Structures are given as structure tokens and as C-alpha cells.
Chain A
């Protein structure tokens, strides 16, 4: 596996690799998202208690899961950047951070829109909500910390360090519903016994989830390509590729 991964540490190879991957990822992401969301938002059955509000689930649950797995991905990239000093890993931390921040914001906003009719409140200082808000602050902290240094190299390293430190929050978010038993409901899909969602709702949810994952990977590819070009703009291969002067 390392033999296969190692060439990708070279910016030029990674740039081309992401370029090949991007159209496929984007196309499949859009198709699957269309199928999953139309199925979920239009055709899936209503909940017997929540009626149509349950449909927020098809956006809320994937984006919430994505916010955590994106963070984990970013932290792994940050760890690689710090330990093995791989510069593309460091650039990918900054490529991933805004995407994760947006997914976190989406999960919080859809959660608020869902909470208003169901719990009767936009916001509750519940353990899950609070830890998710901290996750958003961590993403923003990584972005802000990178921006605060005039030397991009140092900024990238310090931001990576913060990303690694912040990973303690991910298990806290995941287990917050079990440890505190506050307002937010427990896990329905991410558990070892059979999921407690009926198949007619589970399938569109899983399809939406897959679509969100593919969308995230496609966006990471796109942003990483831009980051590589930005950092390597004075290299000959960039000029050869883009045909500039």
C-alpha cells in the first residue's frame, strides 16, 4: 500500500491523480445525491409522529456524520504532515478544513430547523449540540490559525498541530448521546446491532450518505488541486501544464 501511496506525495503526481478522480467523483456524487435526496424528500414515507419534518433527516444525518469523518480525515492528514513532513498532507489539511466547517454548519442549521418543531426550541445546551458547536469552532480555529502567520509553512504546521489536538472532540461528539442522555436522541445507524430505522427510510438515508461522502471527496480533490497550483506556481511543471508564460 505504501508503494502505491508514496508517489502521491509528489505534488505533480497528486495534481494529476486528483484531476483524473474529480470528474468521476463529482458525477457520481451528483447522481447519487439526486437519487437519495429525491427518494428521501419526496417518496419515502412520513413518520407517524413527526410527519414531513422527518425528511430533514436526509440532510441532517449525512452532514453531521460527514462533519466528524471529515475532521478525522483532516486530523490524519495533519498527523502525516507533522510526523513525516509531507507537504501535500499539510496543504490538504487546509483544503479539507473549510469543507468540514460547512458540513458542520449545515448539520447545526438543519438540526435547529428540526429542533424547532420537534423539541419546541431552536437551540438547547445539550451535550451533542454543544460538542458539535465546539467542532465548528475547531474548524474555524484551524483556518484562522493558518491565516495568522505571515510564513505559510509555519502557519500550516501550527494549524496541523491544532487539528491533531482537536481530535479528542470527535469521540466526545459520538458518545455524547450515551454519556449524558440529554435531549438529542441516541445513535440509530452507527451501532453494532441492527439499525433502528425502518428499511423504507434507511435506504434513502444510506444513499444520501454515500452521495455526501462522494461530494466531500470531490470537493477535497478540487480544493487540493487549487492548493497545489497555488503553492507550486513557480515550478516548471505548473507552467508546462497550464501553458502560461
Chain B
């Protein structure tokens, strides 16, 4: 059932390219703003790179989050799902997976380019890629949660950001700490382990909350 939903999501994404291409372009544009804003001094950029990359990733995932459930809510798909009492969970998991495939994974694949742009050295680059690989699924899970909570709200947009950004903070702290440690030649397996722990915990619990948020919003 998950695969059926996932295929549907991917087909929809393939037909609405702007939904996932725009956040990616946004990611790159935010990244180019930083060197222009803080000055192109290479050493300074290298120090700031972990924070810059992660903040740009957070913002671009947030940009994609707003439209996650909007269309399905408007054309009644979610209502039908909830009414049929089947597959809400599978739908949530497929939605999360599709969101990660369309926003998180491209960020991971773009990270070599980003590392080059910001002059990150090799050790920090590997750490950056690993944290993005482990952290972006968590971003997707949380943005699905935020989108589900605000699905039928009248003033969704900015509210979504207000709700979800505080939940992103722990992720941001550990991910940038890992990259920073790698940049100084230290071991960062501890931070990675915490990222994995947060991801597993979120994967186990958040879909339940999302499913009940969907039910509340259509009742």
C-alpha cells in the first residue's frame, strides 16, 4: 500500500516540477547570498559553512512543506482516506518518503557543489554529507508534521514556519557541531549517533501524530 501511494506521489511530483525544483533553486540562491552578505573571505566562509549549509537546507525544506497537503486537502483525497479508515498511515509514510526523495536527497547530492563553493576541506565535506544524509529525513518528517497540523488553518503559511523551526533547532545544533568537529580534525561519531537516535525516534512516533492531525483536520 505504501508503494502505491509512493508511486502516486512521485508521479504527481514529476508532473509538478516547480514544487520540488523551486526549493532547490532557493537553496542555492540562499547559499550564494551568504558570501555576498558576509564577504568572500575564504577562511571566514570555511568557518561559517556548517551553519550556512544547514540554515539554507532548513529554509528550503520549509518552503516545500507548505504545499505538502494543500492540494490533497482541497480536492478531498484526505477526506476520502480518513473516511475509508484505511491507509492513512501508509499515506503519511509515502508522503514523508516522497518529500525526502524530492527535497532532502537532492540537497545531499548538491552538497559536493556546495562544499566547493564555500571552500570546505575534505574531512568537513564528508561530515557535511553524512549529516545531511541523516538529518534531511528528520527535516522531512517534521515538515510533514507541520503541514498536517496547519492543513486546514486559514493563515497557514507563516504559522508553519513558526511551529516547525523551533523543532528543527536540536537537529541544527548537532549537525553543525558534527561538521565543525570534523573541520577541526576531531571525531564526530557521537553527534552522528545522536542524529540517528533523533531520526529513529521521530520515525517511530511522528507518523502517528501526523495521522491523528489529518483526522482532526477533516472532522
Contacts and interface: CB of A to CB of B under 8 A. Distances in A.
Interface stretch (B77-85, B99-107, B144-152): B144-152
A39 B209 CA distance: 47
Contacts of B213: 158, 161
Contact of B153 (A82, A148, A157): A148
B217 interface: yes
Contacts of A140: 162
A14 B213 CA distance: 28
Contacts of B111: none
Given A130-B169, A150-B154, A158-B149, A145 B216 contact: no
B155 interface: yes
A145 B159 contact: yes
Contact of A157 (B166, B173, B216): B216
Given A140-B162, A161-B216, A148 B154 contact: yes
Contacts of B149: 145, 158, 161-162
Contact of A138 (B153, B156, B166): B166
A134 interface: yes
Interface string A216-243: 0000000000000000000000000000
A141 B166 contact: yes
Given A134-B166, A165-B209, A154 B216 contact: yes
Q: Does more than half of chain A's interface fall in helix, strand or loop, or is it mixed?
A: helix
Q: Which of A137, A140, A144, A148 has the most CB of B within 10 A?
A: A148
A149 interface: yes
Given A148-B155, A149-B154, A158 B166 contact: no
B162 A144 contact: yes
Contact of B159 (A130, A144, A161, A172): A144
Given A145-B150, A145-B153, A162-B149, A137 B166 contact: yes
Contacts of B154: 148-150
A164 B205 CA distance: 12
A158 B216 contact: yes
Given A130-B169, A149-B152, A141 B216 contact: no
Contacts of A164: 209
Contacts of A134: 166, 169
A129 B166 CA distance: 13
Contacts of A138: 166
Interface residues of A, number: 21
A117 to B, nearest CB: 27
B21 interface: no
Interface string A135-179: 001101100110011100011011001101100000010000000
Nearest to B219: A154
Given A145-B150, A158-B217, A82 B162 contact: no
Given A145-B153, A148-B153, A161 B163 contact: no
A137 B162 CA distance: 8
A89 B93 CA distance: 30
Contacts of B159: 144-145, 148
Contacts of A162: 149, 163
B106 to A, nearest CB: 28
Interface string B12-42: 0000000000000000000000000000000
Interface string B187-219: 000000000000000000010010011001101
Interface string B146-187: 000110111110010011011001100100000000000000
14 contacts: A82-B212, A134-B166, A134-B169, A137-B165, A137-B166, A140-B162, A144-B162, A144-B163, A145-B159, A148-B150, A154-B219, A161-B212, A161-B213, A172-B170
Interface of B: 145, 149-150, 152-156, 159, 162-163, 165-166, 169-170, 173, 206, 209, 212-213, 216-217, 219
Interface of A: 82, 130, 134, 137-138, 140-141, 144-145, 148-150, 154-155, 157-158, 161-162, 164-165, 172
The 3 lowest CB-CB distance pairs between A and B, nearest first, are A137-B166, A148-B153, A157-B216
Given A149-B152, A154-B152, A161-B213, 5 more contacts: A130-B169, A145-B149, A145-B159, A149-B153, A158-B216
